[in-house]
C-alpha cells in the first residue's frame, strides 16, 4: 500500500469530493485517498463503474457527490459517487459545454459549471439535476488569460483561484454571474516546480501533487495561503480515535496540530477510524477513568485495561487515542497502555498539543531535559526553566507558542518505533 | 519562601502533574487551590481539587465542598475522586457526591466510600442500589452496602 498520489503516467485527472482526493486513470479505474486534516491516507480503489477512460474525455470536475466528465465534443457525462463506489455513467441533457478548442479550464462553484478560455473570457452553465443549462458569459474581469504562465485553475468556496508558473496565486471572487477583479493571495507560493502535476482543493486546503507522487498542501484563509506542509510523508502513524467525550478543543484541531508537528519530522498521522462512545448504551464509568498516578509505562488499572479492550478496527501496528472526560488523578492525558495495544487517554480539558504529546510518549518519547534547573530536593521536577518550544515539555503544553519542534533524537526515536510504518 | 499562585500553577498546569511532588508545596498552597477552584479554568480547577484532596489537610474538606458545587462536572468528578484521599470525609460531602446528577461524580463518590464510611450515608447508598439509572453504579453501590454490613 502506498500513499503516493497520482504518480503513475496513466493517472489522468485528479479532483476531490468531500475529503476524498480522486485519481482517474486512462483505463477508467478510479482511486481515492481520504484526507484528514493535513494527511492523506493510503490509496483505495473505487468499486463500480469505470470513468473518464475515453480518449475524447477532456475535462473532469466534480459537483457535490458527482463526478463530471466532459468530452472534446462538449457532451457531458456524470457518475454519482456514493462512499467508495462510482455509479454508472449517465449523459446530461441540455447544452453541450467546453467544446471549443480555446476552452482551457473547467471548474465548478456550487451548481455552476465554469469554463475559462484562453483569452480570459469566462462562461458558465447552471446545472440542474441532470441537465446542463445554456451557456452564459460572465461579466466583470477576465481570468486566467496569461497563456502558459497561468498553469492551474481551481476553486474554493466562491473564489476562482489561478496559480501561475512562478507560484504566485491570484483569486477572483465570483458573485452571481460576475467575476470580481483579480487579487493576489499573500503567503506561500504554490505549484511553482516544473514537476508539480495536479492542483486541487479539499475544503480550504490547496493541494499540489507532483510527478513522483509526493503531495503538498497549504490552508487558505481568506486571501492568505498558509505554510506548506507535506500531505503524504514517507512514514506514518495510523491513529484510531475512540470518543467517550468530545474534548473542549475539537479532536480535528488536535489532530491537525499533531500532523503539523509530526509532519515537520517527516511522519504523517492518518486518522484510520473514529468510533463514537458518547451515547447512552456504553459503559459510562470509563468516561471518568481511573489511572495509575503519573502513568508509569505498563502499569494499568482495571479500568484502563477495560478501556483498551475496545479495539475495533485497530491493526497490529496502529495507535489508539481514547478521548475520555476525566482521569483520576486529574491529568490532561495518560500514555500508559497494555503491551498488545498502543495508545493513550486524552481528557476533555486537554490542551491543543496534548494528543501529540501523549502519542509522543506512546512512541517512546520522554519529557525533555533541562526544565528543572536548581530545583529544591523536595521538588526535583519544579519546572523552573520550561522550554515551551518543545512538544515533549514536562511542564505545560498550554504555554507552547507556535508549532513546537521535535529534535533529531526524538525524530529518530519516532522513526524507529514499531508504530511508525512506511506509508 | 512563600508559595505563590504561580508556584501552584507551575505544578498543576502540566500534561501529567506529579501530585505527590505538588503536595510538597504544603498548606500555603491551599488558598491558591481555592482560587483555582473558583477560577474560570475547569482543567486547573479540577487539578486543584485533586491536589486538595490528596493533601488531606484540615482545609481540604472545605475545598472539596467548594469543588462539589462547581457547575462543571469535570471539577466535581475530580473532587469526588480525590475524596478518597481524605481520612475523615463528612457525610454531607459524601451525600453531595452521591446526589449529584452526573454519573461520573456518583461513581467516584461511591469509590470514596471504599475508604470512608461517614455516619448516616448508608441510606444514600441504598437509594443508589435501588434507583440509580446506571446499572454499573447500582452494582458498585451494592458491593459497598455489603461491606457496610
Per the prediction, chain A carries an average pLDDT of 95
Check A326 against B104: CB less than 8 A apart.
yes
Average pLDDT over residues A74-97: 97
> Which of B1 and B71 is assigned the larger pLDDT?
B71
Average pLDDT over residues A226-245: 93
Task: Read off φ and ψ for residue B88, nearest 5 degrees.
Answer: -130, 100
Q: What is the largest CA-CA distance in chain A?
A: 82
Check A381 against B21: CB less than 8 A apart.
yes
- Give the pLDDT band of residue A399 (cuts 50, 70, 90): very high
A206 neighbors A161 (Cβ within 8 angstroms): yes
Q: What is the largest CA-CA distance in chain B?
A: 53
The answer, yes or no, to whether residue A355 has pLDDT greater than 70, is yes
pLDDT reported for residue B148: 83
pLDDT reported for residue A281: 63
Check A329 against B82: CB less than 8 A apart.
yes
Residue A347: name the closest of B117, B147, B17 by CA.
B17
Residue B35: name the closest of B66, B81, B65, B74 by CA.
B66
B13 touches A at CB < 8 Å? yes
The answer, yes or no, to whether residue A1 has pLDDT greater than 50, is no
Residue-level length of chain A? 423
**B81 neighbourhood in chain A, CB within 8 Å:** 288, 290, 326, 328-330
**B19 neighbourhood in chain A, CB within 8 Å:** 293, 329
Helices B73-82 and B103-112, interaxial angle, to 10°?
10
pLDDT in tens, A269-324: 999 999 999 986 667 789 999 999 989 998 999 999 999 999 999 999 999 999 99
Check A349 against B43: CB less than 8 A apart.
yes
Q: How far is B40 from chain A (nearest CA, A)?
A: 12
The answer, yes or no, to whether residue A209 has pLDDT greater than 80, is yes
Q: What whole-number distance in Å separates Cα of residue A239 and Cα of residue A314? A: 8
- Tell me what percent of the residues of chain A surpass a pLDDT of 70: 99
A61 neighbors A106 (Cβ within 8 angstroms): yes
- Give the pLDDT band of residue A3 (cuts 50, 70, 90): confident
pLDDT reported for residue A25: 97
Under DSSP, is residue B26 helix (H, G, I), strand (E, B) or coil?
coil
Average pLDDT over residues A13-41: 95
Residue A102: name the closest of A80, A82, A81, A120 by CA.
A120
The answer, yes or no, to whether residue A115 has pLDDT greater than 50, is yes
pLDDT reported for residue A418: 87
The pTM score is 0.82
What lies within 8 Å, CB to CB, of B135 at 6+ separation is none
pLDDT reported for residue B26: 94
Does the predicted interface ipTM exceed a cut of 0.85? yes
**Which of A119-128, B3-12, B110-119, B136-145 has the least mean pLDDT?**
B110-119
The answer, yes or no, to whether residue A151 has pLDDT greater than 80, is yes
**DSSP string across B82-139:** HGGG-SS--HHHHHHHHT-SSHHHHHHHHHHTTT---TT-HHHHHHHHHH-S-HHHHH
What lies within 8 Å, CB to CB, of B41 at 6+ separation is none
Q: What whole-number distance in Å separates Cα of residue A41 and Cα of residue A20? A: 10
Q: Is cis: bond before A329, omega within 30 of 0? A: yes
Amino acid at each position: 500500500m502506498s500513499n503516493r498520489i497520482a504518480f503513475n503516467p496513466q493517472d489522468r485527472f485528479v479532483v476531490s469530493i468531500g475529503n476524498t482526493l480522486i485519481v482517474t486513470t486512462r483505463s477508467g479505474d478510479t482511486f481515492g485517498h481520504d484526507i484528514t486534516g493535513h494527511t492523506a491516507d493510503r490509496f483505495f480503489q473505487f468499486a463500480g463503474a469505470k470513468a473518464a477512460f475515453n480518449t475524447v474525455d477532456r475535462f473532469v470536475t466534480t459537483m457535490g457527490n458527482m463526478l463530471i466528465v466532459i468530452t472534446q465534443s462538449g457532451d457531458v457525462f456524470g457518475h454519482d459517487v456514493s462512499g467508495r463506489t462510482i455509479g454508472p455513467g449517465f449523459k446530461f441533457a441540455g447544452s453541450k459545454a467546453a467544446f471549443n478548442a480555446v476552452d482551457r479550464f473547467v471548474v465548478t462553484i456550487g451548481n455552476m459549471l465554469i469554463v475559462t478560455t484562453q483569452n480570459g473570457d469566462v462562461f458558465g452553465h447552471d446545472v440542474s439535476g441532470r441537465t446542463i443549462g445554456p451557456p452564459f458569459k460572465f461579466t466583470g474581469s477576465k481570468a486566467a488569460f496569461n497563456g502558459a504562465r497561468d498553469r492551474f485553475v481551481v476553486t474554493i468556496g466562491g473564489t476562482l483561484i489561478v496559480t501561475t508558473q512562478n507560484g504566485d496565486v491570484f483569486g477572483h471572487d465570483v458573485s452571481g454571474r460576475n467575476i470580481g477583479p483579480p487579487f493576489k493571495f499573500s503567503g506561500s507560493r504554490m505549484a511553482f516546480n516544473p514537476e508539480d502535476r495536479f492542483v486541487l482543493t479539499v475544503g480550504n486546503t490547496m493541494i499540489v501533487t507532483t510527478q513522483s507522487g509526493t503531495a503538498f498542501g497549504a490552508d487558505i484563509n481568506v486571501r492568505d495561503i498558509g505554510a506548506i506542509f507535506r500531505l503524504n510523508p514517507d512514514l506514518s502513524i495510523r491513529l484510531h480515535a475512540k470518543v467517550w467525550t468530545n474534548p473542549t478543543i475539537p479532536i480535528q484541531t488536535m489532530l491537525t496540530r499533531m500532523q503539523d508537528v509530526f509532519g515537520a519530522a517527516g511522519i504523517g498521522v492518518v486518522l484510520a477510524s473514529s468510533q463514537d462512545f458518547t451515547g447512552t448504551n456504553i459503559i459510562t464509568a470509563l468516561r471518568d477513568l481511573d489511572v495509575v498516578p503519573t502513568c508509569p509505562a505498563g502499569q494499568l488499572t482495571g479500568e484502563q485495561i477495560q478501556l483498551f479492550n475496545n479495539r475495533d478496527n485497530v491493526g497490529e501496528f496502529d495507535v489508539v487515542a481514547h478521548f475520555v472526560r476525566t482521569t483520576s488523578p486529574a491529568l490532561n492525558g495518560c500514555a500508559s497502555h497494555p503491551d498488545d495495544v498502543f495508545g493513550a487517554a486524552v481528557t476533555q480539558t486537554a490542551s491543543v498539543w496534548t494528543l501529540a504529546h501523549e502519542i509522543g510518549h506512546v512512541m517512546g518519547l520522554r519529557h525533555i531535559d533541562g526544565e528543572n534547573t536548581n530545583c529544591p530536593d523536595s521538588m526535583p521536577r519544579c519546572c523552573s526553566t520550561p522550554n515551551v518550544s518543545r512538544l515533549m515539555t514536562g511542564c505545560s503544553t498550554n504555554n507552547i507558542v507556535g508549532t513546537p519542534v521535535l529534535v533529531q533524537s526524538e525524530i529518530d526515536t519516532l522513526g524507529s518505533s514499531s508504530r511508525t510504518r512506511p506509508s | 519562601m512563600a508559595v505563590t499562585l504561580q508556584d501552584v500553577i507551575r505544578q498543576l498546569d502540566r500534561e501529567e502533574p506529579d501530585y505527590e511532588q505538588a503536595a510538597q508545596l504544603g498548606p500555603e498552597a491551599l488558598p491558591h487551590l481555592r482560587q483555582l477552584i473558583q477560577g474560570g479554568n475547569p482543567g486547573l480547577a479540577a487539578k486543584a481539587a485533586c491536589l486538595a484532596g490528596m493533601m488531606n489537610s484540615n482545609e481540604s474538606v472545605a475545598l472539596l465542598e467548594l469543588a462539589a458545587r462547581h457547575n462543571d462536572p469535570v471539577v466535581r468528578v475530580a473532587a469526588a475522586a480525590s475524596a478518597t484521599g481524605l481520612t475523615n470525609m463528612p457525610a454531607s460531602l459524601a451525600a453531595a457526591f452521591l446526589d449529584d446528577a452526573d454519573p461520573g461524580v456518583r461513581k467516584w463518590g461511591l469509590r470514596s466510600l471504599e475508604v470512608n464510611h461517614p455516619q448516616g450515608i448508608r441510606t444514600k447508598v441504598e437509594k443508589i442500589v435501588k434507583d440509580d439509572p446506571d446499572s454499573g453504579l447500582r452494582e458498585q453501590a451494592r458491593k459497598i452496602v455489603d461491606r457496610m454490613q
